[in-house]
Amino acid sequence: MIDYFKSVDEQLFQFLNSYHSDFLDPIIFQLTQTWPWIPLYIFLSILVVKKFGKNCWWVFISIGLTILFADQFTSGFMKPFFQRLRPCHDPMWEGIVHNYGKCGGLYGFASSHASNSFGIATIITLTLSDRFKAVRWLFLWAILFSYTRIYLGVHYPADVIVGGFIGILSGFLAFEISVFLNKKITQNTL
C-alpha cells in the first residue's frame, strides 16, 4: 500500500514538475524565499495591532508558537526520522527533475515551507477573520508558496500536503494555547 502511494506521489511530482519555463524559473525561485513576502507580513501585523491594540501580544506569541511547532516538527523530527530524499537529491531523478536554484537539505518529508505557510494562514484566519474576512485568502498564498517547492524540484506533493496539514494543526494548537494564556493573564490582572 505504501509503495502504491509512493508511486502515485512520484508520478504526480513528475507531472507537476515538468511544467516550467525559463521565464518563470527565477520568479518562482524568488516567490519561495521569505523576503518578497515581508510586505505581506507587515500588513498582517498592522491588522493584528488594529484589531487587538495593546492586547496584540498574545496573537504574536501564537504566530511564533505556530512557526515553532510547524518548523520543528517537520525539520527537527520528520525529516531525520523518515529520511526521504528530496527529488533533487535522489539519483532516480537525475536528468529528469527540473531543479532551479538550491536543492536544500538532503531530506524533504515533510515540507517546512508548507507547514509554516499553512500554519500562518491558519493562525491569522483564526485570529482576524471575524473582522477582516479577506485574510481567509491566505490559504491561496499558502498553496502557491507550497507549490513553488514542487516546481523547483525540492519536494514531492506528499511532502507539501503533509507539511500543510502539520501547519494547520500547529496553528490550531498555538491558537488554543495562546487563548488560554491570554485568559489566565487577563484574569490575574483584574
| Cell 531525520 belongs to residue | 80
Res 190: pLDDT: 57
Position 189 scores a pLDDT of: 66
Q: What is the pTM of this model?
A: 0.94
Give pLDDT, residue 1: 83
In tens digits, the chain (190 residues) has pLDDT values of 888 999 999 999 999 999 989 999 999 999 999 999 999 999 999 999 999 999 999 999 999 999 999 999 999 999 999 999 999 999 999 989 999 988 989 999 999 999 999 999 999 999 999 999 999 999 999 999 999 999 999 999 999 999 999 999 999 999 999 999 888 887 776 5
The candidate with the shortest Cα–Cα distance to 167, out of 118, 131, 121, 109, is: 118
* Contact present, 59 and 127 (Cβ < 8 Å): yes
pLDDT, position 164: 98
Q: Which of 80, 132, 127, 136 is nearest to 108 (CA)?
A: 80
- CB-CB contact of 61 with 185 (8 Å): no
Domain coordinates of the chain in residue numbers?
53-189
Helix residue spans in 21-156 (DSSP H): 24-31, 38-52, 57-71, 79-82, 112-128, 138-151
